[in-house]
Amino acid sequence: MGSQDEGKRLAAVAAAERVQNGMLVGLGTGSTVAYLLTALAERGVRAQFVCTSPRTEAIAGQLGLPVRDFDEVTRLDVAIDGADEVTPDFWLVKGGGAAHTREKLVAAASAAFIVIVDSTKLVPALRGPVPLELVRFGLASTMARLGSVRLREVPPSPDGGVIADYLGPIEDPATLAASLASTPGVIEHGLFPPEMVTEVVVGGDGEATWLARASASTTQSQGASR
Ligand code: 5RP
């Protein structure tokens, strides 16, 4: 296993230990979350899970993790998910796996949102691109208004949205997030504000380090190879 994958695994294993019996847990999408699913199955914790993509749901099913339909619940105890970029003040870019719309909905419904990343995902400032999910109707017009945007060669989202990436500069994430959110035709964008994030677990150098949002300083370290 390469060091980046090992970092993902360490972060995922550390986060899995936060899941207690009886919890309702949101599961993100991606390779880091795949390690989380394995760790949860190995722990045998008696929790229930809401998945953010058919991919995550398929793996959860294979591992025997009990899955609930998101339409059946309004509030989750915690959501755990990966990210593409994390800044020191906890702005995130998400959606490399095109699941950012569902991921944001599940994170918003959760009492806590734990982000699991390997250390290569830590950046001084967001670089992008910023994933977008767009309405199919009027796509050319929406893209013209957005300006610097490229369609991604992937299938539509499970909700029928078109996946694209905003390639313009990210001078101020809050300003860009507000601008994207107010653009007709944009279903959701992959900028996640710090207020959504409870903690970030970073895997690297043989250990998982927990970062808390308030100061983004190290609050707890957990040993590696378990
Ligand atoms: C999917 C996501 C993923 O969490 C993000 O792309 C990170 O993926 P990975 O864990 O494979 O590096 O936002 O939409």
pLDDT one-digit tens code per residue, 186-224: 999 999 999 999 999 999 999 999 998 764 444 443 433
This prediction's pTM: 0.93
pLDDT digits (tens, 9 = 90+) for 19-28: 999 999 999 9
pLDDT, one tens digit per residue, over 129-142 is 999 999 999 999 99
Between the CA of residue 117 and those of 6, 84, 125, what are the distances in Å? 10, 8, 16
* Dist. CA 116 → ligand 1 center (Å): 10
- On whether both 87 and 137 belong to a single domain, the answer is no
Q: Is 69 a domain residue?
A: yes
Atom number, ligand 1, closest to the C-alpha of residue 94: 13
Q: Look up the domain containing 70 and give its range.
A: 3-120+192-207
Ligand 1: residues whose CB is within 6 Å?
Answer: 28-32, 81-84, 94-100, 103
- List, by residue number, the catalytic residues: 103
Residue 10 located in a structural domain: yes
Q: Domain count for the chain, please give it.
A: 2
Nearest-atom index, ligand 1, CA of 30: 11
- Under the banding of pLDDT at 50, 70 and 90, the label for residue 1 is confident
| pLDDT value at residue 220 | 40
CA of 177 to the centre of ligand 1 (A): 19
User: To the nearest whole number, what is the mean pLDDT of the chain?
Assistant: 94
Do 134 and 81 share a domain, yes or no? no
Instruction: Confirm whether 226 is domain-assigned.
Output: no
Same-domain pairing of 14 and 46? yes
Residue 140 lies in a domain: yes
pLDDT band for position 61 (cuts 50, 70, 90): very high
Query: In the sheet that 191-192 helps form, which strands lie side by side, from edge to edge?
Result: 85-86, 92-93, 191-192
